[in-house]
């Protein structure tokens, strides 16, 4: 359990650093108390489902992903829709890439999504 808490704590700290957010910033955006965030970040408390859901929403990350990082949900195989040829091709192509190339592709996809959302907000 300690390893999972440390892994989650490290992940959350990195997420906050990437956004230049403090624990207080996350508290304001998530509706969680600053003390509960501090307890999880310091590794003194395990994150629960509600904590992960609120953190996911605040960070604009699917809550399920946050819950998997916190080891609250099992890591399951990706369901690839057989009726969506584009998604299937993306998946099959990504499987052939190195880990570093897949990580780079993921960063690009997330950037594109963020850019599209930003454009929609501006219009």
Q: What is the mean pLDDT of residues 80-91?
A: 79
Q: What is the mean pLDDT of residues 82-94?
A: 83
pLDDT in tens, 54-80: 999 999 998 988 998 998 887 765 666
Q: What is the mean pLDDT of residues 79-83?
A: 70
Q: What is the mean pLDDT of residues 28-55?
A: 95
Q: For the whole model, what pTM was predicted?
A: 0.64
Place of tokens 């992960």: 52
Is the domain covering 2-69 a CATH 3.40.50.1370 domain? no
Q: Output the CA torsion sign for 12, 32, 111, 17.
A: negative
Q: Where are the domains of the chain?
A: 2-69, 85-122
- Determine what percent of the chain is predicted with pLDDT higher than 90: 58
CA angle 19, 11, 88 (to 5 degrees): 90
């Amino acid at each position: 359990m300690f390893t999972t808490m440390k892994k989650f704590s490290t992940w959350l700290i990195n997420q906050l650093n990437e956004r230049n957010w403090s624990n207080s910033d996350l508290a304001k955006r998530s509706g969680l108390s600053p003390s509960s965030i501090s307890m999880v970040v310091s590794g003194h408390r395990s994150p629960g489902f509600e904590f992960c859901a609120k953190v996911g929403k605040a960070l604009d990350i699917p809550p399920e992903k946050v819950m998997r990082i916190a080891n609250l949900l099992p890591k399951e195989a990706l369901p690839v829709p057989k009726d969506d040829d584009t998604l299937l091709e993306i998946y099959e192509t990504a499987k052939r890439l190195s880990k570093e190339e897949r990580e780079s592709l993921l960063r690009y996809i997330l950037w594109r999504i963020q850019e599209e959302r930003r454009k929609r907000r501006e219009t």
